[in-house]
Amino acid sequence: MQLLLIFGIVFAIAAVLFALQNNALVTVTVALWHFESTLAVVLLLAIGLGVLIAGLVSTPAVLRGQWSGARLRRQVVALDKEKAALEQRIAVLEAEAARSRPQPPPADAEPQRFAGLKSILTGGEQAPKPPAA
């Protein structure tokens, strides 16, 4: 803000110096309209008119850019929400998949033996079943 104030003061000093150095009387004629003033005033009015025209011409492009930026920001917010929802869904599905997988037996547990293995190998004799523990 202070830099802008300093720039404004320097610009005002330059404009005053310009006006003091260009104090010749000039006449501007446009169609039926006549305007007499100093050269500095005429030039400053021309510059001001140019700035006004440039501002009016560039306004639609600036507005279009602001609208486009706002639309893109809304899209980013919507996509972030969708991403969060999908990440949550992935976490739920991974937890569900982990629950549905068969759990491997503990490493120190003895594997279960097939009780009817002896009967299959001997040709049909039934082996006594081990007592339930």
- Assess whether pLDDT exceeds 80 at residue 25: yes
Query: Taking the model in full, what pTM does it have?
Result: 0.49
What's the number of CA atoms in the CB half-sphere (13 Å) around residue 9? 6
As a whole number of angstroms, the distance between CA 103 and CA 33 comes to: 97
**Better pLDDT: 71 or 46:** 71
Q: Give the mean pLDDT of 45-53.
A: 89
Express each pLDDT in 56-113 by its tens digit.
999 999 999 999 999 999 999 999 999 999 999 999 999 998 888 877 766 666 666 6
pLDDT at 53: 94
- Assess whether pLDDT exceeds 70 at residue 118: no
Identify which of 38, 46, 45 has the alpha carbon closest to the alpha carbon of residue 19: 38
